[in-house]
Structure 1
């Protein structure tokens, strides 16, 4: 990676949130779609994401912010589907990271 390239691998905390979301989805059988599960696997494995994927993450969080108001959001013993999905996409830290990366990459092509 050259000095002018941006590292689009998520921080460890985001990877850990995604891994936790995968575990909750396995245990409770709810939360997100197969796309969300695929995103969680990429985050958990700290795959280098494309700028387009970062933009999709930002869009996901914008659409699903309302899920945080649902019953059992954040409840580890009986989590809402929205809570599981939020974690699969990286949780609050994933949201902050995706927004920061989108600002850094701007309109970079999806390679």
Structure 2
């Protein structure tokens, strides 16, 4: 009986000891992980900012293209229309009218 109990006790100690240590480690590091996740959600990374800026500029350029096409169509009917004074997708990110 003792021969069976000793190896069983050794195996049990080795397997559960790691589980307890891992659980304790998880409990200790949980606030740090939660805090870093909150910071990630609250801030915008540079790649997200670049992606958002690119999307904004593509939309502005599409709008400018539509308005210029409409303006050119109008100028074909009325040659005295003058220079384009509509919406311009500004390269610095600020959209404006000329």
Choose between structure 1 and 2: higher helix proportion. 2
TM-score (norm 1): 0.25
Please say which structure displays the higher CA radius of gyration: 2
Q: Which has the higher contact order (CA 8 A, sep 6+)?
A: 1
> What is the TM-score when the length of structure 2 is the normalising length?
0.28
Higher strand share: 2
